[in-house]
Structure 1
Amino acid sequence: MSATRTPSYEVLVIGAGFGGLGTGTALRRAGIENFLIIDKWDRVGGTWNANTYPGVAVDVPSPIYNFSFQQRSHWSRFFAPGTEIQRYAEEVADRQGLRGKLRLGCGATEARFDEAADLWRVRTSDGAELSARFLVSAVGALEQPKPPAIPDIDTYSGTLMHTARWDHSRDYRGKRVAVIGTGATALQVIPKLAEQAAQLTVFQRTAIWVAPKPDFPLGAAGNRMLDFPPAQQAVRLIGNVAVNAFLGLGLALSDYPRLTSAVLGTGEAVLKAYLFTQIRDRTLRRALTPTYRLGCKRPSISNAYFRTYTRPHVDLITTPIERFTPGGIRTEDGEHREFDMVVTATGFQVMDKGATPPYPVYGCGGIELGEFWDTHKYQAYEGVSVPAFPNMFHIFGPYGYAPGSVIPLIEATAAHSARAIGEARRRGATRVQIRQEPHEEYFARMYARNRNTYLFKQGCADSRTYYINYQGDGPAFRATTQAGMYWSNRHFPLDHYRYTTSRTAVSELGGEAQPVGASRSPITHP
């Protein structure tokens, strides 16, 4: 890589989804202007570019799926379709003055920390090298598709696609279609496919808890109400509390197992009652009833999912798949079914080796981040910083996310990153690095709290949840409330980080490379 010691940018942000846009806004609010946001997609939106399958929509209410600093008041529905969410991302880029900070169609392929110059060097998909004092990884968790591990899948001769790589040139009308998976994505795509497919077969490995979806057109009256700032803020606050409770209350109450069990038991009873109102066939209802506790997997909402299985041309198959064939799928009972198109709704690689982030990152001593996490478990202080990787911050890092809307997470970790970078600037430091002791204390505390949740005590491992990764740990979440996540990322002690200036680092950003001394020993800023 280039030997220059003067970085091209003060901050480089990888990812122009909501994480990158939130980070860019936090940097500007901290008075940091010399930054660049790159993304492999040709437009902003991240996850909402990857996921464009039929029926895609936000699964938290639209009025809360927006930033606190730019609340949108006009939505077509209470749960907006994906196209509107992507459009909102464009609005954020424009209103927050980020359009001139973007380089799209340019993804990262490798990042390497230059220890002598205290800067990051990043290779991109267009063959360029970018350098920056600080690096922020804002690649979303729902970005890398997870293909099913089914034998002979490469032999299938029909149309095969993952929901996160939907090919809109493929017509499924009047076709024999199979869907593998019954998670939150499948919940949205299955009813849509059923409307036009001649035959739809759904292969279910694990049932999902489903709640009714309080969706409705907002209309002129609803949007006028949201135009009134106090009403909009009240809806956003109440909505965030409700979503956090629905998705993460049981995890946050990990210190109170009896209360947790009572809350989950009540929720399960309510959702079973809802299933009964949708499906009267006892055998079908039993097949669609989860055998694990509510909350083991991310629950979802739908008004159409269950009723889709009552349609005569829709089949639910719970027999495990044995293998693919050139013409279709064979199950373990020996039955073979032929399909024109197979859709894999099998989720994403969340906290999987080589996928978080999806490019190699080399820190101090040449340590590669994925290898480090694979060997030492996934860990990051407040979900943001890792000791051997100075000047690097994560928006969706391990033990960062308190289940709920992802927007509060982004605002919290972006604020954390901007605060640490701002403090380094104030001290004139070229390197900011999380200290080992506070990092280990946070990791130990979050690891213990996560292990104390029902996920590890009530058979959730059998639910195949992405909350538990390939190592048998739960780094995809933190067992706290979102309020706790929000507060701690904004008020962490600044001395939890070490601020130093390398004697061989450049003396002034943007100037000529000027070593300030012959020694490479760092100057520590107390």
Structure 2
Amino acid sequence: MSNTEKIGANAPEFSKLLIIGAGMSGISTAAYYKRRYGDDDYVIYERQKKLGGTWWMNNYPGGATLLYSFSFYPKYDWSKFFASQPELLEYVNDTAVKLGITSRIRFSTDVEACEWIEEAKRWRVHLRRRRVDKPWALDEPTQEEDAQLEEADRWVHECLVLISCVGALREPKDCNIPGHGNFQGTLFHSARWDHRVDLRGKDVIVVGNGCSAAQIVPTITPITKSTTQFMRSAQWIIPRPSPPLFDDNTAFAKYRRYILCWIPGLNLSLRLWAFMVNEAVFLMFRKTKFGNYLRAAKEKELLEYMRAGCPEKYYDLVLPKYPLGCKRRVLNDGYLSNLHRDNMLLTNDPISHIEENAVVTASGKKYHADVIVMCDGYKPGLSAIPFRLTGKNGQTLEEHFEALGGVGAYKTCAFNGFPNFFVTCGPNSVTGHTSLLIASEVVTDLAMKVAKPVFKGQAEEVEVTRKAEMEYRKFIDDGHKQTVWQTNFCTSWYMDKHGRNTSLYPYSQTHMVLDCMFYSQKDWNIRYTPKALCRSRMVKIACLSILLGLAFQGMRQPKGYFGELWGRALRSLSSVSQILTQCASSVLSQGALFVRGLAGSRAN
């Protein structure tokens, strides 16, 4: 790659910035770096064969999301208010191509480990080329494939700044149902959808009833012989919001894209409306008097909505008995009406085991199965950093978390002892009510501002202080105590094994934007280079000399002299600008001569 250095056959490659992951966060990070520094000295390593991250892997039928759009490259001509997975993926690819990012991505590459090299003030990243040739395979290589890796398939890349843009939901849970290995049909996870399988006329079992299942079930049921969905607990199902402009039944639906593109401010107004609606939802998650009132009113409204939408025989299964917000809400796009179909069955009878062609429940019932789709979520833990990360003094990130009492980060993106390292989907970065992309962008902007001295060659490292990280972790924990998530009757993947919420941000999205926008310099230890320190001291000395000179000159002038002087200056701002420019130029030139002279004297 043109801007990636490689010296010698066995020497590690080098770039200023290394980005892990080519999903939406990775593309956003590259775009922010290019825009802020006008530099292409970066590389993105992506483990899959194509970019897109979560929205490339989750390509199951019915996949859709609320209008995602980069702030720096907005899309105006969405076909629907909830964009489908193919349309969203096309937008991400188009963004990467138009901004010249695609050429900087290396696909089919796994990051095995990252270690901080104190002597060089760099990160050393150990990489492995993946050799998974199956077009549908997204999992880890087998031991046989791993053993076939040659020396050329493993290499090292060093960088000044390392940013992990790995998604928060990366690795799906393994199927641990007894007997699944004996199943003669096809079994796969919704996040690893096998598109070779034709579901038409098949008996399909869907395990789980979260967001993915709510999109998959109504999409596949019209073509299957039967769809049986196994669930554990009820979900709060809410209607999908849709502005009139996105209603396909309106007269101007076919002109939607032209209207959004050519009416000034309309697209921005729609986005602002969606943002404000979602921000208002957060008030219901607060354990305040007002929040409790809003939550109770919304729960009553949603229970009526769900009763009206689903068959009465499923009331006991579908209607939740826990507070709204404890778990991730499920958007309804035909799911409730799909429960009325004759070939659709919903049950909470626990699965006992799997046989060759059937699923057997705890009650002894057998359900014939040709295909089993697992929609039971993802592996717990900090999946945004799936590699071994070793910081200062040989301390790993796991050891860092253990020393501080659990998973956490400063402003969700930085850790003490791990300089020049940031994560865009770190602890508590997920929002329970709005788009994760907003959080990812504001965190990326913070990283770019904090790391500026390193990118400019003025500093060797930037590292958040231990005190700042501890205080911020406490700030997050205190915030969760005021939310419905942190209650005894709420159980979800948000919580870790110690009962701490390490996934969600306990404040509004607006709060997070402002929190990252305005940060304290005292929270960071910045180790400047000797050259930058010398330059800074020279500028300070020069400024102080100018002030002392002006003060001494003023004492020698008659009374009222400075009043007249400043009056003239205010009447001619351009003259003041020219004077300051000349003074700065003179100071810098004299300083340069001083340094050269000092260097010459040392040489002699």
With structure 1 as the length reference, what TM-score do the two structures score? 0.88
Deviates more, 1:25-34 or 1:408-417: 25-34
Contact 2:187/2:372, CA 8 A, preserved across alignment? yes
CA deviation after TM superposition for structure 1 residue 108, in Å: 1.4
Question: Does the alignment pair 1:497 with 2:524?
Answer: yes
Residue equivalent to 1:450: 480
Choose from 225, 250, 266 the match for 2:259.
Answer: 225
Contact 1:427/1:499, CA 8 A, preserved across alignment? no
1:2-21 paired onto structure 2 within 5 Å: 8-21=14-27
Residue equivalent to 2:448: 418
Residue equivalent to 1:168: 195
Deviates more, 1:306-315 or 1:196-205: 306-315
Residue equivalent to 1:309: 339
Deviations 1:458-513 (A, max 9, x none): 5112xxx222133321111111111111111121112311111589xxxxxxxxxx
Work out the CA distance in 1 between the residues paired with 2:302 and 2:88. Answer: 28
Q: Judging changes above 3 Å, is the alpha-carbon distance between structure 1 residues 298 and 495 closer, same or farther for their aligned structure 2 residues?
A: same
Q: Which runs of 5+ in 2 are unaligned?
A: 1-6, 130-153, 531-604
Question: Does the alignment pair 1:23 with 2:29?
Answer: yes
Work out the CA distance in 1 between the residues paired with 2:207 and 2:341. Answer: 18
The alignment's C-alpha RMSD in Å is: 2.2
Deviations 1:57-85 (A, max 9, x none): 11x2x2xx101211101122111110010
Choose from 69, 73, 76 the match for 1:73.
Answer: 76
Q: Which runs of 5+ in 1 are unaligned?
A: 504-526
Identity %: 26
Residue equivalent to 2:325: 295
Question: Does the alignment pair 1:269 with 2:300?
Answer: yes
Work out the CA distance in 2 between the residues paired with 1:432 and 1:250. Answer: 38
CA deviation after TM superposition for structure 1 residue 7, in Å: 6.5
1:128 alignment partner, SS class: strand
Work out the CA distance in 1 between the residues paired with 2:500 and 2:272. Answer: 31
CA deviation after TM superposition for structure 1 residue 399, in Å: 2.1
Work out the CA distance in 1 between the residues paired with 2:13 and 2:415. Answer: 22
Work out the CA distance in 1 between the residues paired with 2:224 and 2:501. Answer: 38
Deviates more, 1:213-222 or 1:180-189: 213-222
1:36 alignment partner, SS class: strand
Q: Which amino acid aligns with 1:440?
A: M
1:488 alignment partner, SS class: helix
CA deviation after TM superposition for structure 1 residue 106, in Å: 1.9
Work out the CA distance in 1 between the residues paired with 2:333 and 2:430. Answer: 27
Question: Does the alignment pair 1:54 with 2:61?
Answer: yes
The structure, 1 or 2, with the larger RCO (C-alpha pairs under 8 Å, 6+ apart) is 1
Number of residue-to-residue matches in the alignment:
488
CA deviation after TM superposition for structure 1 residue 402, in Å: 3.4
Which has the higher Rg, Structure 1 or Structure 2?
A: 2
Work out the CA distance in 1 between the residues paired with 2:323 and 2:180. Answer: 32
Choose from 207, 220, 236 the match for 2:234.
Answer: 207
Contact 2:200/2:223, CA 8 A, preserved across alignment? yes
Residue equivalent to 2:602: none
Q: Which amino acid aligns with 1:232?
A: N
Work out the CA distance in 1 between the residues paired with 2:315 and 2:451. Answer: 54
CA deviation after TM superposition for structure 1 residue 368, in Å: 2.3
CA deviation after TM superposition for structure 1 residue 105, in Å: 2.1
Contact 2:124/2:157, CA 8 A, preserved across alignment? yes
Residue equivalent to 1:44: 51
Work out the CA distance in 1 between the residues paired with 2:181 and 2:283. Answer: 42
Question: Does the alignment pair 1:373 with 2:401?
Answer: yes
1:68-467 paired onto structure 2 within 5 Å: 68-126=71-129, 127-215=154-242, 216-217=247-248, 219-227=253-261, 228-246=263-281, 248-251=282-285, 253-254=286-287, 257-281=288-312, 283-350=313-380, 352=381, 355-373=383-401, 376-403=405-432, 404-426=434-456, 428-457=458-487, 459-461=489-491, 465-467=492-494
Deviations 1:1-29 (A, max 9, x none): x9999860111000111100111111122
Work out the CA distance in 2 between the residues paired with 1:333 and 1:497. Answer: 59
Work out the CA distance in 2 between the residues paired with 1:444 and 1:202. Answer: 41
Residue equivalent to 2:537: none
Work out the CA distance in 1 between the residues paired with 2:527 and 2:180. Answer: 52
Residue equivalent to 1:524: none
CA deviation after TM superposition for structure 1 residue 111, in Å: 1.4
1:116 alignment partner, SS class: coil
With structure 2 as the length reference, what TM-score do the two structures score? 0.77
Per residue, is there more helix in 1 or in 2? 2
Q: Judging changes above 3 Å, is the alpha-carbon distance between structure 1 residues 128 and 442 closer, same or farther for their aligned structure 2 residues?
A: same
Work out the CA distance in 2 between the residues paired with 1:219 and 1:374. Answer: 55
Work out the CA distance in 2 between the residues paired with 1:241 and 1:110. Answer: 41
Contact 2:19/2:44, CA 8 A, preserved across alignment? yes
Contact 1:5/1:117, CA 8 A, preserved across alignment? no
Work out the CA distance in 1 between the residues paired with 2:351 and 2:292. Answer: 34
Contact 2:164/2:384, CA 8 A, preserved across alignment? no
Contact 2:42/2:104, CA 8 A, preserved across alignment? yes
